[in-house]
Amino acid sequence: MTPGSWLERQRSLLDYTLSSLARRPAKNLALVTVYALVVFAVASGLFLGEALRAEATAALQGAPDVVVQRLQAGRHDLIAAGEVERLAAIRGVERAVGRRWGYLYRPSSRANLTVMVPERFWGGDGEAVIGEGVARVEQVGVGETLRLEASSGESFDVKVREVLPPGTALFTTDLLLLSEASFLRLFGGGPDRFTDIALQVPNAREISKVAEKVLQLLPGSRAITRLEMARTYQSIFDWRGGLVMALLSTALLAFALVAWDKAAGLSAEERREIGILKAIGWDVSDVLLVKLQEGAVISGAAFTLGAVGAYLHVFLGSAGLFAPVLEGWSTLAPRLHLTPAIDGLQLATLFFLTVVPYTAATVVPAWRSATADPDAVMR
Amino acid sequence: MSALIEARELRRVFHQGRSDQVEAVKGVSLSIAAGQVTVLRGPSGSGKTSLLALLGAMARPTSGRIFLGERELTSLPERFLTEERRRTFGFVFQQFNLVPGLSARENVMLPALPLGHPRAGLARRAGALLERFGVAHRAAARADRLSGGEAQRVAIARALINEPAVIIADEPTANLDSVLSGVFMELVGTLRASGKTIIVASHDPLVYESPLVDRVISMRDGRLEEPAP
């Protein structure tokens, strides 16, 4: 018979590949399932880490350019209200605002709340605005009261005016916003002292210079720039992400060994089939193309299933499986509603670390059999 | 009659240089005429299968030369040898070697898949071959569910799909009863009548004593008992 068209040849060989895969359904389904699970786990880690970093970066857009804290014996201490005006006078500083915040441990719920006085509190005295997590663990809603125990031993109630929206949960889940009076009643101290002072510096190039001037003006204080805060956030996510990736890479390695073992050794049945194909006139390139397609179909399907599953898990399922390891720093874990953010390079790396080696591992033993005499392979 | 295949001093050694070395073919020279039915006769282990593999370009000899017409096969690169296997030879193996899981029709189509012919035409052609050998009703059956006789006829149809000039069959009646062996010889007669060259390895008298056979070559211990012509 004379040769036909190239396209028809590809179609015929692809048909053969698919029928060949269908002939070993149990083995191939098991392989795709395990493979997809590994990709799912690793991709979930990558997607979640990337999404958290993107959230952190977005949230820091509204953070102060410089935060000034007083240090006492190397520890953070309250700073005098009078320093606000001195810091505001530094050239390049547009605004200086004293802030009040602290932490409150709640033995009843075993949660640590972050208590803050916002610059412009929209509630009244005796009212509170709370994060989603606080509402959850304290089991309170709008209009209900929350009993607080002050450092003096006195207890008082605040009425919940508002629960912050879930979209901000990553940074507000453990928040308890109070009026200045309620804050001072809770923690003591006087109106002449702040927790720290936030500076607004419109020109980003002047931020580091302003930080230097702060240290000259207030020896024994520290000035934290937004860039440093961003680095801290990034390192927290990188560390947590690294932890997960280290765990998952073990799974990936285990899978690689299993996959290599599976792919590198052809079964007697598969070797015989290659021998038959060669004996009836198939070229080495025909056999290799079929094996390449087999490897690509299995690994491609597994990668797609794993990656799509991971996307759904992280961005629609709020990363339920990995969130406890990766998410925020509070004891009140936020319910995550992450905006999809994917690093294409990471995904491409994962693709090349899974699909390419598997496909290659499938082709190598087939090549060994296909280049031998058909008679020898069938024997 | 002109020689289609000529072998000169063929040797085939397995596991050469090792303690379990076996010399299956020991300096065989012979020629096969076109359009004839040639039977290699001999007991098991006499080297018939190894010689068939060499003559059909399925294996390379340890030494010696094979010519297909004017062309020497032994020195051909693998790609051209594949081309000869595809174009010139059709194999019917002792165990039939159908691919299990594929249907009878798909097995028949298999040798032609890499040629890139439209699938529909190929399926029609495979169907016609199955019809010719009386197994059209089993076209959709999986190869591993065919009886011995059916599997053999499917294997013959597969050997013919690329219209080869030479059909090589290794112990074709070894797994068949006498009735089906008779049917096989009828098929050989049909193929001979259509001008095919047929080489059969067999130690079945029903084959080598058949009036359809033009020539019987006896083998023993890797050598020919009859001097090469």
- pTM as predicted: 0.70
Residue A273: closest C-alpha in chain B: B99
Residues of B in contact with A9 (CB under 8 A): 113-116
The pLDDT score that the predictor gives to residue A365 is 83
Asked if pLDDT for residue A318 goes beyond 90, the answer is no
Q: What percent of chain A has pLDDT over 90?
A: 29
- Nearest Cβ partner of B116 from A5, A374, A378? A5
**CB within 8 Å of chain A, chain B residues 34-73:** 50, 53, 58-60
From B123, which residue of chain A is nearest by alpha-carbon distance?
A12
Instruction: Convert the pLDDT of each residue in A133-171 to its tens digit.
Output: 889 888 999 999 999 998 888 899 999 999 988 766 666
Q: How much of chain B, in percent, has pLDDT values that exceed 70?
A: 97
Please determine, for the modelled complex, whether the ipTM score is greater than 0.90: no
The predicted structure's pLDDT at residue B229: 52
Would the CB atoms of A16 and B78 count as touching at under 8 Å?
Answer: no
The token pair at B59 is 């294996």
Please check whether residue B74 touches A, CB under 8 A. Answer: no
Statement: residue B129 has pLDDT above 60? yes
In B, minimum Cα distance to A25 occurs at B101
A8 to chain B: closest CA residue: B116
What is the structure's pLDDT at A145?
Answer: 93
State mean pLDDT over A64-83.
Answer: 89
Q: A185-243: per-residue pLDDT in tens?
A: 999 878 899 999 999 999 989 999 999 999 999 888 999 998 888 787 777 666 666 66
Q: Closest partner residue to A4 among B91, B117, B162, by Cβ?
A: B117
Q: How far is A368 from chain B (nearest CA, A)?
A: 14
A267 in contact with B, Cβ within 8 Å: no
Residue A3 to residue B115, Cβ atoms within 8 A: yes
